[in-house]
Amino acid sequence: MSNRIHTLGGYIHEYQKSVLEPENFWSRVADSFYWRKRWDKVVDWNFDEPKVQWFVNAKLNITENILDRHLFTMGDKPAIIWEPNEPDEPNRILTYKELHREVCKFSNVLKKNGIEKGDRVIIYMPMVPEAAVAMLACARVGAIHSVVFAGFSAQSLADRINDCQAKMVLTSDGNFRGKKSIPVKAVVDEALAQTDTIQNVICFKRTGTDVTMESGRDLWWHEEMQGISEENKAEEMDSEDMLFILYTSGSTGKPKGVVHTCGGYMVYTQYTFNNVFQYSSDDVYWCTADVGWITGHSYIVYGPLLAGATTIMFEGVPTYPNPGRFWAIVDKYKVNQFYTAPTAIRALEAFGTEPIEPYKLDSLKVLGTVGEPINEEAWHWYHDHIGKGKCPIVDTWWQTETGGILISPIPGVTPTKPAYATLPLPGIQPIIVDSEGNELKGNSVQGNLCIKFPWPSMLRTTYGDHERCKNTYFSNYKGLYFTGDGVKRDEDGYYRILGRVDDVINVSGHRMGTAEVENAINEHPKVIESAVVGYPHDIKGQGIYAYVICDLANRSEDNLKNEIKETVSKIIGPIAKPEKIQIVPGLPKTRSGKIMRRILRKVAEGDTSSLGDTSTLLNPEVVDEIIKGAQ
């Protein structure tokens, strides 16, 4: 557990060292890992090509640092605790020793079926321990995994298989999610009709649903694991060999495969996990994300397991069988660190405090949020009712592309401030620029967030299309990584993320982040959630169009809309008042909880002819209802 920061003075000291002598700083952090060969150079980089290499020419295997190095000191410690969808189904606990055995065996299964170093393997699985075993087995044999969230459509799955020319799919017969049983294998079969590179499908039996098994191609996980050796020597990897590809939705509609590599990603995810969550050796840590997203990669699987932590994987949803499920799990396992999305917090907040009352929640030490900036009202609800006023909230800012958390409070170290991600972690050098790329120095400034120096877990390229990586992240401002986010640095030097820059609305020359306006709308006691977009306005250039989910009990719609306008006027000023408010039953979201504002903008503009593919949304049906309401 070295490299932990315990005091504000300690943070300032570490941060200054990391900026003045980044090579020495990261070399010291990396020294605590097992390397088969040490690096020749800590970092080699330029942001023009862009080309970034960390721990140049070092040799390692990330799974030796997760499994082999922990066997003797913590072999019997729980590595993964799996909590199933149904509360009365038995849970499963895999110790480090058992996880090592499963990963070695499944590594041999992959090799037996022709998977070699450099091959791409798609993982399309529910939240079961085997999903983590699959990821680690790929890493152990040197195959590049690409996890696709097991709720994406067949078309989305086929696009990803074709883009990376994958050789194998790892999946399950089905998936339990709340009241639903989802036919996962059937989706894979449909996707494979549009691909020609897949040689084998290995299917894990979870639901017992009848599935079609194509002879010569499809294999059962349990049959492949029978009688296979538990001995497996990890493949030697270069620090810059690919570890995984993770697809993120691109503005062009074609998904872009963000590439992360072995050495730097390993060092950064463990370092940030230990510090952001202040993990101690006997703690139980729970991140509620899905392994299909970067949060699941970095802070369910890799970061926690590298740190020798006990990490919980939860198969179900926060509201099943009732909205107290999260809190029941916290009490059941005496969870110490709890990491979830503002979307989930707001959804649970709508049920009031009654579902929380049966639970103690007294084991909690740190609360975290991820995925989007958390609004103040949700922050206070989370702090007061879940943390009982005593748990610091780490509002973490990062992206699929950054690989790990970049800006976040350190609990017990950084004083927090609602809705602020606060300060950059050591090694991260943020810079705020205006639209021309001029640096805005000092405090009380607002502009676009860029990073001027590389960090170990940053993306290296977009798979098969380096030009796209360059154009998306490194071409807007010369010599800088552009995050795509707007940011405000307040009088204390704290950072507040204002949402995507393309989500900035320009009303009469005043630039407003959508997050800021939504935050204000959400302060109204009857509002559950909102999303705002700009639309063409004859006088102001852009007007504000608000989509609002609210509790209409005992209120007329007109009265409520007027109250919302007054609330915004009071919090931000009359300039930010929405011109149009539409009460909606839901918002179109991706499965990671991101609101698809692109769709909402089109509806606000009255252009619903080209909404693009909505099948990958969590709730595609809500789009039709929004269009109907707008008309």
pLDDT at 618 over 90: no
pLDDT of residue 498: 83
User: What would the mean pLDDT of 403-431 be, rounded to a whole number?
Assistant: 96
Return the minimum-mean-pLDDT range out of 200-209, 499-508, 583-592.
Answer: 499-508
State whether CATH 3.40.50.12780 applies to domain 8-317+396-427.
yes
User: What would the mean pLDDT of 425-437 be, rounded to a whole number?
Assistant: 94
Question: What Cα–Cα distance (Å) separates residue 140 from each residue in 239, 243, 320, 499, 536?
Answer: 14, 10, 35, 37, 53
Tell me the C-alpha distance between 124 and 539, whole Å: 49
User: What would the mean pLDDT of 595-609 be, rounded to a whole number?
Assistant: 88
pLDDT of residue 1: 46
DSSP for 511-542 reads EEEHHHHHHHHTTSTTEEEEEEEEEEETTTEE
CB half-sphere exposure, 607, CA atoms < 13 A: 10
Per-residue pLDDT tens digits for 320-353: 999 999 999 999 999 999 999 888 898 899 899 9
Of the two residues 155 and 24, the one the predictor is more confident about is 24
pLDDT at 165 over 50: yes
Return the minimum-mean-pLDDT range out of 236-240, 401-405, 534-538.
Answer: 534-538
pLDDT of residue 344: 87
Mean predicted lDDT score pLDDT of the chain: 92
pLDDT at 502 over 80: no
Domain boundaries, the chain: 8-317+396-427, 508-630
Cis peptide before 321 (omega within 30 of 0): yes
Q: Give the pLDDT band of residue 302 (cuts 50, 70, 90).
A: very high
pLDDT of residue 539: 63
Percent of the chain residues past pLDDT 90, beyond the cut = 78
pLDDT at 5 over 70: yes
Strand boundaries in 211-324, DSSP class E: 218-220, 237-238, 242-248, 256-261, 284-287, 310-314
Per-residue pLDDT tens digits for 221-279: 999 999 999 999 999 999 999 999 999 865 445 678 999 999 999 999 999 999 999 99
Per-residue pLDDT tens digits for 545-554: 999 999 887 7
User: What would the mean pLDDT of 480-501 be, rounded to a whole number?
Assistant: 91
User: What would the mean pLDDT of 419-434 be, rounded to a whole number?
Assistant: 96
Tell me the C-alpha distance between 514 and 206, whole Å: 41
User: What would the mean pLDDT of 92-97 be, rounded to a whole number?
Assistant: 98
Q: Return the CA Rg of the chain.
A: 24
Total residue count of the chain as it appears in this document: 631
pLDDT at 112 over 50: yes
Q: Which fold has domain 508-630?
A: GMP Synthetase; Chain A, domain 3 (3.30.300)
Residues 6+ apart with CB under 8 A from 26: 18, 42, 43, 54, 267, 427, 456
Q: Give the pLDDT band of residue 149 (cuts 50, 70, 90).
A: confident
Kind plus residue range of the DSSP H or E element containing 203: strand 200-204
Q: Give the pLDDT band of residue 2 (cuts 50, 70, 90).
A: low
Residues 6+ apart with CB under 8 A from 138: 110, 115, 121, 123, 144, 145, 244
Q: Give the pLDDT band of residue 511 (cuts 50, 70, 90).
A: low
Q: Give the pLDDT band of residue 39 (cuts 50, 70, 90).
A: very high
Kind plus residue range of the DSSP H or E element containing 112: helix 96-112
User: What would the mean pLDDT of 36-60 be, rounded to a whole number?
Assistant: 98
pLDDT of residue 555: 78
Percent of the chain residues past pLDDT 70, beyond the cut = 97
Position of tokens 């507040």? 496
pLDDT of residue 251: 47
Whether the CB-CB separation of 340 and 348 falls below 8 Å is answered with no
Kind plus residue range of the DSSP H or E element containing 56: strand 51-56
Give, as one character, the DSSP assignment of residue 576: G
